[in-house]
Structure 1
Amino acid sequence: MIRHIVLIRFQPTVSPAVIEDLFAELHQIEGKVTGLLSITSGRSESPERIERGYLHGFVADFTDWAALEAYQVHPDHKRFGARLVVHAEGGLDGILVFDLAVQTQGSPT
């Protein structure tokens, strides 16, 4: 499984309603990309408080790298990504992406 982790540092002027609308748009892609297992999104609730401004984010789980690639080229993802960049602090500089191959129980290491 591939875990696609995206952290966003929104511009200070972006309202909670806009952020909620962005995440609602993101979730609309569920069921449209083969191999997309789930999307979880929201605001950090970390008691450690070391987010360094990346207070919002989402995690999308995919069956494999091909499914992640299909998501990346999907027109709904491209539209969402463009909106996200517009609202992120510094544009693309306000977005951090980390893709992790996750070993599931019983799979080879």
Structure 2
Amino acid sequence: MVRHIVLIRFKPELSEARIAELFTELHDIEGKIPGLLSVISGRSESPEKMERGYMHGFVVDFADWEALQAYQDNADHQALGAKLVEGAVGGKEGILCFDLPTVAAQAL
């Protein structure tokens, strides 16, 4: 399995309602890409307060690297990605992506 982790510093003028709409679009991709296992999204509630401005994020779990690539190539994902970049502080500079293979994926 591959865990795709995305953290976003949204522009201050972007409302929580608009951010929720963007995350709804993300969840709408579920079921459309074989190997996309789950999507979790939301705002940080960390008591550590170490977000450094990355207050929103999401995690998408994929069965394997091929499923992650299918997601990257998907037109709905690309359209949503453009909206996320537009809403992030500094565009792409306001978004962190981290792909973490889990033990199951490493064993493949």
Q: TM-score, normalised by structure 2?
A: 0.96
Query: What stretches of structure 2 of length at least 5 have no aligned partner?
Result: none
Match of 1:89 in 2: 89
Match of 1:29 in 2: 29
Question: For 1:35-46, what aligned pairs fall within 5 Å after superposition?
Answer: 35-46=35-46
Match of 1:75 in 2: 75
Q: CA deviation at 1:77?
A: 0.1
Structure richer in helix, relative to its length: 2
Q: CA deviation at 1:108?
A: 3.9
Q: Residue 57 of structure 1 aligns to which amino acid in structure 2?
A: G
Q: Give the match's secondary structure for 2:29.
A: coil
Q: Give the match's secondary structure for 1:57.
A: strand
**4+ residue runs over 6 A deviation:** none
Q: Residue 64 of structure 2 aligns to which amino acid in structure 1?
A: D
Return the alpha-carbon distance in structure 1 between the equivalents of residues 107 and 63 of structure 2: 15
What is the identity percentage for the equivalent residue pairs of Structure 1 and Structure 2? 62
Query: What stretches of structure 1 of length at least 5 have no aligned partner?
Result: none
Match of 1:48 in 2: 48
Q: CA RMSD in A?
A: 1.3
Q: Residue 102 of structure 2 aligns to which amino acid in structure 1?
A: V
Return the alpha-carbon distance in structure 1 between the equivalents of residues 71 and 54 of structure 2: 23
Q: TM-score, normalised by structure 1?
A: 0.95
1:65 is the counterpart of 2:65: yes
Aligned length: 107
